[in-house]
Amino acid sequence: MGDLTIRLETEKDYRAVEELTRDAFWNVYKPGADEHYYVHQMRNHPDFIPELAFVLELDGKIVGNIMYTKAWLEDERGMRKEILSFGPLCVAPQHQRRKFGKILIERSFEAARGMGYDVNINFGNPGNYVSRGFVSCKKKNVCFAVEGNFPTALLVCELVPNALDGRRWMYIPSAAADCCEDRAAVEAFDATFPPREKAWRPSQEEFYIYSHSSVVR
């Protein structure tokens, strides 16, 4: 397998992580990708948690990384609980499906528990997460604050068993990813990387279905 090391990201890693992110996400969820711009911006956002930004090196080269922001749950009385949300999580395409993603999730969850966090919520493709302890938000009674529904792609992982007690919670994500709404800035940043063709892939339709549907029963 080679020599695997997992450690916190440093400033010297920034560009390599952005290149990796672009490579891992390119054409997966949309033609092209925004996630490398998100990574570039999120490090300056107050919700970013540098203590949980890990890189995975294989023989000294970065082949994976995970980054987190704060997020929140709010109950019906208005009580707020700070939780985590990770993403981007990336593994270099040529090294995917070798459990590197699993290593990054498990190592960072361990660190997160040490910081006192007990819940992580992600909006993503269930296939990537259900074998890592994530369940549908419906099962934990966590709805999406904006629409009050239970999106198929909204997945909850309790870092501490039974951290959620069954009461109704609304999930409030960080606004850190809103930077990607500035399309001119995303495109200008992407232009600093080698040109690459944007194309349709079936995974884009798969994610459209997950992200536009809800669990109702």
Ligand X SMILES: CC(C)(COP(=O)(O)OP(=O)(O)OC[C@H]1O[C@@H](n2cnc3c(N)ncnc32)[C@H](O)[C@@H]1OP(=O)(O)O)[C@@H](O)C(=O)NCCC(=O)NCCS
Q: Give the residue with the Cβ less far from ligand X, 86 or 150.
A: 86
* Residues 112 and 52 sit within 8 Å (Cβ to Cβ): yes
- Least distance to ligand X, CB of residue 79, Å: 28
Selected binder of ligand X within 67, 84, 89, 155 (CB under 6 A): 89
| Per-residue binding letters, 100-119, with ligand X (x by CB under 6 A) | xxx-----------------
Q: Give the residue with the Cβ less far from ligand X, 96 or 214.
A: 96
- Least distance to ligand X, CB of residue 206, Å: 10
| Other beta carbons less than 10 A from residue 134's beta carbon | 20
Is 17 an interacting residue with respect to ligand X (CB under 6 A)? no
Sign of CA dihedral 59, 63, 64, 65: positive
CA–CA gap between residue 115 and residue 125 (Å, rounded): 27
Selected binder of ligand X within 99, 167, 183, 198 (CB under 6 A): 99
Q: Give the residue with the Cβ less far from ligand X, 38 or 72.
A: 38
Q: Using the rule CB under 6 A, give the single segment among 2-10, 74-82, 87-95, 209-217 that binds ligand X.
A: 87-95
Selected binder of ligand X within 70, 83, 85, 88 (CB under 6 A): 88
> Going by C-beta distance under 8 Å and a sequence separation of 6 or more, which residues neighbour residue 158?
118, 119, 133, 140, 164
Selected binder of ligand X within 25, 38, 171, 189 (CB under 6 A): 25
Is 61 an interacting residue with respect to ligand X (CB under 6 A)? no
- Least distance to ligand X, CB of residue 90, Å: 4
Residue ranges that bind ligand X, judged by CB under 6 A: 24-25, 28, 87-91, 96-102, 124, 127-128, 131
